[in-house]
Amino acid sequence: METFISDGLSFALPLFVIAIGGIYSERSGITNLALEGMLGMGAFVGALAVVLLTNGAFAGEFYLAMLFACLGGALFSVIHAVLCINFRANQVISGVVINILATALAAFLAKLINASVFGQNSNKFQLSTAPTLGTIIPGISGVPVLGKMYVFVPIILVVALIAWFILYKTRFGMHLRACGDNPHAVDAAGGNVARTRFIAVLASGALSGIGGICFAYYIAANFSPSIFMGYGYLSIAALIFGNWRVMPTLAACLLFGFARSGGYAVAKLLALPSTFSNLIMTLPYIVTLLLLVFFSKTNRAPRALGEIYDKGKR
């Protein structure tokens, strides 16, 4: 049970922080299918910073990786923001193209850097395992669940709380949500729709980068192009099932996370061969399909989601 809970949270919460990034973008009116690429490029930048700056000799490498992943995801999201806001490109096409670009670019750069700097023929960056709370707070090492929880779990919860507060309790958050429902009203009230949407897309990239580096440390202890394993699309499904609201989206992410950890627990209990692990990894996506069947009709997207804002149009 302890492993079931800790593994479920370790998968669900990075997914949740990526989904919050999607909520920021889409509540502002910008459809963001590029979360997959943003989380991957954020993880790439974070891992690259670690291998170049620390060479595995820095005890706080995870925190350094998280910082650079946040910055890398935000910088990469500028592409989507410029295309959709400044050049008024189709937002769905932009997101799909950015995902393809991120996968190819990360693989190419990782292999090039490994060959030129480290003399290795690999497209991976080796990382350590993310620290647990028990290793940095010795007094709780023996506490069930809490002691084995990865350090990024409380960090993500704090980030999520801050993101929730900004979105629902600040003037900027009110403008952001209004941009996704009635951007002309925001403009009439003196707000800057383009600037608000741009910031929202940058926030989505930053949060996606945080989630991406957490997956890299938790799932594989390395960065590779396989970090683009559909988790961005899974986070999009979570925010849709959560009706573009933070707390219901958390519930959807927890459902996905515990479906995954529950599958592994059942496989271990039944002593199934390791080949079943790939099948178990499909459980969150199967749950997604089931939720789509039963709950898609109740979803209410922001009214201006995906619409190119034209200031002269009323």
- Do 80 and 95 form a contact (C-beta atoms < 8 A)? yes
**Dihedral angle sign, alpha carbons of residues 284, 289, 290, 294:** positive
Position 138 scores a pLDDT of 78
- Cβ contacts of 169 within 8 Å, gap of 6 or more: none
Position 313 scores a pLDDT of 67
Residue at 313 is within a domain: no
Residue at 309 is within a domain: no
Residue at 27 is within a domain: yes
Residue at 304 is within a domain: no
Distance CA 44, CA 110 (A): 8
Position 57 scores a pLDDT of 55
For β-strands 125-126 and 222-223, DSSP reports them as antiparallel
Residue at 303 is within a domain: no
Report the CATH number that the domain containing residue 15 is assigned in CATH: 1.10.3470
Residue at 36 is within a domain: yes
Position 277 scores a pLDDT of 67
User: Which residues of the chain fall below pLDDT 70?
Assistant: 55-59, 274-278, 312-314
* Overall domain count for the chain: 1
Residue at 68 is within a domain: yes
Position 75 scores a pLDDT of 98
**Which residues form the domain of 214?**
2-298
Tokens representing 220 are 């594989």
Distance CA 56, CA 126 (A): 9
Tokens representing 139 are 């007094």
Residue at 209 is within a domain: yes
Position 309 scores a pLDDT of 87
